Amino acid sequence: WRAASPGSVSLLLKPESPVKQIEKRDSVLTSKQQIDRLLRPGASYFNLNPFEVLQIDPDATDDELKKRFRALSILVHPDKNQDDPDRAQKAFEAVDKAYKLLLDPEQKKRALDVIHAGKEYVEHMVKEKRKQLKKEGKPQDVEEDDPELFKQAVYKQTMKLFAELEIKRKEREAKDMHERKRAREEEIEAAEKAKREREWQKNFEETRDGRVDSWRNFQAKGKSKEKKNRSFLKPPKVKMEQRE
């Protein structure tokens, strides 16, 4: 037996990365627990954060992301949860959606921007708390000095930002839908109006000759009647008086 060198000891005692810690923590979760986590109340907003869905560190590599997706998707797959296939399907869809989003560089960047914004906001609030405590002459210790509480604060703020962005997205979507509907209604109304005008014009053209003939007949009858009336309205002849 040979004692390990200092270098090998430090290598053996090297702390696990956050990704490894998360994977180790989640390895004890059962399929049912993962499904419950992904479908818990408020999941429609909790699951907006793809890193939270997959429970993987934002700094994880593509290989780590792929490995995590594969393990989690197998765990919640409907085939593995035949006693609750409907909920398993919804959980699997949430995992699949998160994974595909993180495969898109642009979508992944947006998610990372939200997470970084959440962290920066908490850091700013911590600084403001310290300033206020210093101003009041009090110790500048804050609860976020505890790494776990700081992490929780960042988590809450990040979820809030994701939720706000989703609400704004839905509002824009509803507005766009309303505008498209209004534009479509105006388009239909314009088409119906144009159709009515074409039908009126067509009817006008088709009945023109009939109207002209009717007018001519009316005028002819009027002249004939006038002529006839004149013959009946001749003044009586005045008889000459005979002288006695």
Residues shown for the chain: 244
pLDDT band at 8 (very low <50, low <70, confident <90, very high): very low
171-180 confidence digits (pLDDT tens):
998 999 899 9
Q: Is the pLDDT of residue 28 over 80?
A: no
Q: What is the secondary structure of 140-202 as a DSSP string?
A: ---GGGSHHHHHHHHHHHHHHHHHHHHHHHHHHHHHHHHHHHHHHHHHHHHHHHHHHHHHHHH
Rounded to an integer, what distance in angstroms lies between the CA atom of residue 126 and that of residue 145? 9
34-91 confidence digits (pLDDT tens):
999 999 998 988 999 999 999 999 999 999 999 999 999 999 999 999 999 999 999 9
Q: In the predicted model, what is the mean pLDDT of residues 216-221?
A: 71
47 by DSSP, 3-state: which? coil
Please list, residue by residue across 103-124, b when 16 or more beta carbons sit within 10 angstroms of its beta carbon and e when fewer do.
eeeeebeebeebbeebbebbee
Share of the chain above pLDDT 90, in %: 57
pTM of the model: 0.61
Phi, then psi, of 206 in degrees rounded to 5: -65, -30
Joined together, the tokens standing for residue 10 give 């430090």
* Contact (Cβ atoms closer than 8 angstroms) between residue 54 and residue 9: no
User: Which residue is it, tokens 């049912």?
Assistant: 32
